């Protein structure tokens, strides 16, 4: 992977570190973010022992068979567009996988950022925000850590849950993790250059990939509340707009979506 940086020339990714094993690349970059500038950094782990997923879940990939990495992005003060960062990472992964032209089904994004092949999840994104005090106490700087996990060569017995899949399971073929990482990072670089000033264009791109829109959905919201309705759109904050049967529309910032059969 040391050659990875050569393939990222001209992009924002200025430092690429590869470690054989760590707990969580997100945790590592989050620690770094509290003391230093992590903008443009990439941390790849061949293996994670304590991978973190959304909603405080663990992200299990086994000893090998997955591409796991995190990137650092300076975002300044928290903005309402922050929610879009993790959505865009999902698009970058779906686009990069689609370009491999290995799949019968086009990879899609389930809101907010699960990447699906057909009905099954092949990749996930966890984005976290932290601030650090600048030198001399001259203010605070906001930085995001965006973590991406793609099940690449995992075999069926290595998949953590039945709803998961891998590139290998879907295609019977191996994919080069490093090439996929480069492709995702180049895609993400283009998107981040457009964020947040060209959010409308990015949102259109997301809508075209989002398999949740137009579907009847059940959402488990924080606090175990449930919402059933039709997913109609995503707003400027990246929230899913769900219209319930009674006609009222709710903007959902975080939650687990189930696509219901009509
Ligand atoms: C999810 O779908 O729940 C998000 C999974 C995110 C997993 C990636 S793997 C690289 C990075 N490091 C972590 O600990 N988590 C993210």
CATH node for 2-209: 3.30.930.10
Given a cut of 90, is residue 262 above it in pLDDT?
A: no
Q: Do residues 34 and 103 touch, judged by C-beta distance below 8 A? A: no
Q: How far is the CA of 45 from the centre of ligand 1 (A)?
A: 11
Beta-carbon contacts of 135 under 8 Å, excluding residues fewer than 6 positions away, are none
Question: In a 3-state reduction of DSSP, which class is residue 143?
Answer: strand
- Per-residue model confidence (pLDDT) at position 1: 46
Would the CB of 140 count as within 6 Å of ligand 1?
no
The CATH fold assigned to 216-259 is SH3 type barrels. (2.30.30)
Distance 1 CA to ligand 1 centre (A): 20
With CA atoms as reference, report the closest residue to 114 among 1, 209, 247, 229. 209
Q: How would residue 138 be classed by pLDDT, with cut points 50, 70 and 90?
A: confident
**Structure pTM?**
0.95
CB 53 less than 6 A from any atom of ligand 1: yes
Question: Residue 188: is its pLDDT beyond 50?
Answer: yes
Does residue 160 line the site of ligand 1, with CB under 6 A? no
Interval 204-243: pLDDT, tens: 999 999 999 999 999 988 788 899 999 999 999 999 999 9
State the average pLDDT for the chain: 93
The whole-angstrom separation of Cα 208 and Cα 194 is: 17
- Tell me, using a 6 A CB cutoff, whether residue 126 lines ligand 1: yes
Check whether the bond before 196 is cis (ω within 30° of 0): yes
Q: Minimal CA–CA distance to 48: which of 25, 76, 78, 73?
A: 25
Q: For ligand 1, atom 11, which residue shows the shortest CA distance?
A: 147
- Which residue reads 């000893």 in tokens? 63
Domain boundaries, the chain: 2-209, 216-259
Q: How many residues does the chain have?
A: 262
The pLDDT assigned to 2 comes to: 53
Q: Is 59 in the pocket of ligand 1 (CB under 6 A)?
A: yes
pLDDT of residue 61: 82
Per-residue pLDDT reduced to its tens digit, 11-36: 999 999 999 999 999 999 999 999 89
- Residue written as tokens 């300076």? 74
């Amino acid at each position: 992977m040391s050659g990875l940086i050569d393939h990222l020339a001209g992009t924002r990714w200025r430092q690429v570190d590869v470690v054989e094993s760590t707990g969580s690349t997100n945790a590592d970059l989050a620690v770094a973010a509290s003391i230093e500038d992590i903008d443009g950094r990439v941390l790849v782990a061949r293996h994670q022992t304590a991978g973190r997923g959304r909603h405080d879940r663990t992200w299990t990939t086994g000893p090998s068979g997955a591409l796991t990495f995190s990137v650092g992005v300076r975002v300044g003060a928290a903005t309402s567009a922050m929610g879009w960062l993790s959505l865009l990472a999902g698009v970058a992964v779906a686009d990069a996988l689609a370009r491999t032209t290995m799949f019968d089904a086009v990879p899609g994004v389930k809101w907010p950022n699960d990447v699906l092949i057909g009905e099954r999840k092949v990749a996930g994104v966890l984005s976290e925000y932290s601030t650090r005090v600048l030198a001399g106490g001259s203010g605070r700087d906001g930085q995001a850590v965006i973590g991406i996990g793609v099940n690449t060569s995992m075999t069926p017995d290595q998949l953590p849950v039945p709803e998961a899949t891998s590139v290998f399971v879907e295609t019977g073929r191996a994919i080069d993790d490093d090439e996929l990482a480069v492709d995702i990072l180049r895609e993400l670089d283009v998107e981040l250059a457009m964020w947040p000033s060209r959010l409308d264009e990015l949102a259109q791109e997301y809508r075209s990939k989002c398999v949740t829109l137009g579907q009847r959905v059940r959402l488990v919201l924080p606090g175990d509340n449930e919402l059933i309705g039709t997913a109609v759109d995503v707003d400027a904050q990246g929230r899913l707009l769900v219209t319930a049967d009674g006609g009222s529309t709710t903007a959902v910032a975080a939650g687990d979506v189930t696509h219901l059969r009509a």
